[in-house]
Amino acid sequence: MNQIRDALELLTAQHEDIDELCERVTRSRDAATFAALADRLTIHLALEQELFYPVIAGAVPADVMTELLAEHVAIKRILAKLVWLGVEDEDFSMLFSQLGELLIGHAAWQEDQLFRTAAESLSAARLAAIGAQLQAFATNVAAAA
């Protein structure tokens, strides 16, 4: 992976990684690939919710932040059900499809709207610092797993 310059590049790269893992799970329904996806998605949601959203919250309306957090709740609920079911369950594909739809919409809106707002309201230095913080958190969580 190329050197990540800021928070927006890191989060976008994670969206791409999650999207690729979703495609692999859809094709193979492999338990190990799904476990990797679940881990990466959990870390990604934590990075957004705990570190990125608080920084950008002042630049977006409160109802937007509420909607973003509601989407996180919906994603987490479906992910939890999928982990509980396992890839061999007959309901996995339908539920996984719902997760995929949520993730596509969530990431697309962030990249089209939220990240533009962040780029306009935060300095390049601030975005770089947040990116370093996000990267360190992700690395520490992955190492602990």
> What CATH number is given to the structural domain containing 57?
1.20.120.520
Q: pTM of the prediction?
A: 0.91
Per the structure, the count of domains in the chain is: 1
Residue 2 maps to a domain: no
Give pLDDT, residue 138: 87
> How far is the C-alpha of 82 from the C-alpha of 55, rounded, in Å?
31
In one letter, which amino acid is 87? V
Query: Residues 91-144: pLDDT tens digits?
Result: 999 999 999 999 999 999 999 999 999 999 999 999 999 999 999 988 888 777
Is residue 111 packed enough to be buried (19+ CB in 10 Å), middle (13-18) or exposed (0-12)?
middle
Give pLDDT, residue 1: 45
Q: How far are the Cα atoms of 84, 95, 111, 130 from residue 122, in angstroms, in the given order?
A: 40, 37, 15, 10
Query: Locate tokens 């690395």: which residue?
Result: 139
> How far is the C-alpha of 97 from the C-alpha of 130, rounded, in Å?
32
**Axis crossing angle, helix 92-109 with helix 62-85, rounded to the nearest 10:** 160
Residue 145 maps to a domain: no
- In this model, does residue 51 exceed pLDDT 60? yes
Residue 143 maps to a domain: no
Residue 1 maps to a domain: no
Residue 144 maps to a domain: no
Query: Residues 1-43: pLDDT tens digits?
Result: 456 689 999 999 999 999 999 999 999 999 999 999 999 999 9
